[in-house]
């Protein structure tokens, strides 16, 4: 949990969710969540923002279903209380209207060799007994989607008329990393999709990368210009300052 912003109690839907997992309360899970495209298996958003936020949405088309299931227990201090696969219909019950990329916003071809078959998994993680509240929240929710970060944002948040609280852009793999578009470009399709969401925009941008973070000392999107905090020198949390 980052101390520069307030801790939040677990939302009622998370505190009351049982086993096996019920029907996905999709709008509750998405509203105020942390959205992390090109996530891989990076646990930093959960590690540093757990307790400030309780719902995390990870998306990466380079990760397969079996890879995910092998790594679900990788969050230190947490066990998987329950998980199940979720369908496209559960995630987008109202459908959605895609926003296509414009010329110059990315490669004309998706990197087919790196794309795994799409899937969706919802899991609830519970803090293990040897750790206390200082380690993180008692529970958190994770939706992991094998899919494209841009299209998934549009489908989930535009389609369900909600907005995340945080967008995480952490070494998103542009170019040789296999990402077809530049998530850091404030004029490209991800930014247009996020900032053009009629239901609201994230209050915070979690931005950073590897090494000492020198390359990431300024926000990639200018509308997030108020520095909230620096996390281990590699990540910076920025607050939206307006248009």
Q: What is the CATH number of the domain that holds 69?
A: 3.40.50
Q: Is residue 4 part of a domain?
A: no
Q: Is residue 108 part of a domain?
A: no
Range of 181's domain? Answer: 12-103+120-240
pLDDT tens figures, 8-46 = 999 999 999 988 999 999 999 999 999 999 999 999 999
pLDDT tens figures, 151-168 = 999 999 999 999 999 999
Q: What is the mean pLDDT of residues 181-185?
A: 92
Q: Is residue 150 part of a domain?
A: yes
Residues 6 or more apart in contact with residue 135 via CB below 8 angstroms = 77, 127
Q: Largest Cα–Cα distance in the chain?
A: 53
- Identify the residue with better confidence: 84 or 111: 84
Where do the H-state alpha helices sit in 17-148? Answer: 26-30, 44-49, 65-71, 88-91
Cα–Cα separations (whole angstroms), residue 106 to 109, 111, 126, 155, 217: 8, 11, 39, 19, 24
Q: How confident is the model at residue 109 (pLDDT cuts 50, 70, 90)?
A: low
Cα–Cα dist 190/194, whole Å? 6
H helix and E strand count, the chain: 8, 9
Total domains, the chain: 1
Q: Is residue 25 part of a domain?
A: yes
Q: Is residue 1 part of a domain?
A: no
Q: What is the mean pLDDT of residues 172-183?
A: 76
Q: Name the percent of the chain lying above pLDDT 90.
A: 80
Q: Is residue 6 part of a domain?
A: no
Q: Name the percent of the chain lying above pLDDT 70.
A: 92
Q: Is residue 48 part of a domain?
A: yes
Q: What is the mean pLDDT of residues 189-213?
A: 90
Q: How confident is the model at residue 5 (pLDDT cuts 50, 70, 90)?
A: very high
């Amino acid at each position: 949990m980052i101390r520069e912003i307030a801790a939040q109690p677990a939302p009622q839907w998370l505190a009351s969710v049982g086993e096996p997992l019920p029907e996905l309360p999709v709008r509750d899970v998405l509203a105020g969540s942390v959205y992390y495209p090109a996530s891989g298996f990076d646990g930093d958003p959960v590690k540093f923002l757990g307790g400030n936020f309780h719902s995390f949405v990870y998306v990466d088309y380079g990760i397969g279903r079996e890879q995910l299931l092998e790594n679900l227990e990788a969050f230190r201090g947490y066990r998987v209380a329950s998980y199940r696969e979720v369908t496209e219909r559960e995630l987008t019950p109202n459908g959605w209207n895609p926003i296509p990329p414009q010329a110059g916003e990315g490669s004309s071809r998706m990197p087919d060799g790196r794309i795994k078959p799409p899937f969706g998994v919802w899991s609830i993680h519970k803090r293990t007994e040897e750790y206390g509240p200082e380690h993180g929240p008692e529970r958190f929710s994770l939706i992991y989607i094998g899919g494209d970060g841009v299209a998934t944002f549009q489908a989930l948040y535009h389609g369900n008329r909600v907005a995340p609280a945080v967008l995480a852009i952490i070494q998103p793999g542009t170019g040789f990393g296999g990402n077809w578009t530049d998530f850091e470009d404030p004029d490209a399709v991800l930014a247009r999709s996020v900032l053009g969401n009629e239901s609201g925009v994230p209050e915070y941008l979690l931005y950073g990368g590897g090494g000492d973070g020198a390359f990431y000392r300024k926000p990639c999107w200018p509308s997030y210009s108020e520095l909230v905090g620096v996390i281990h020198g590699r990540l910076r949390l920025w607050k939206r300052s307006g248009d």
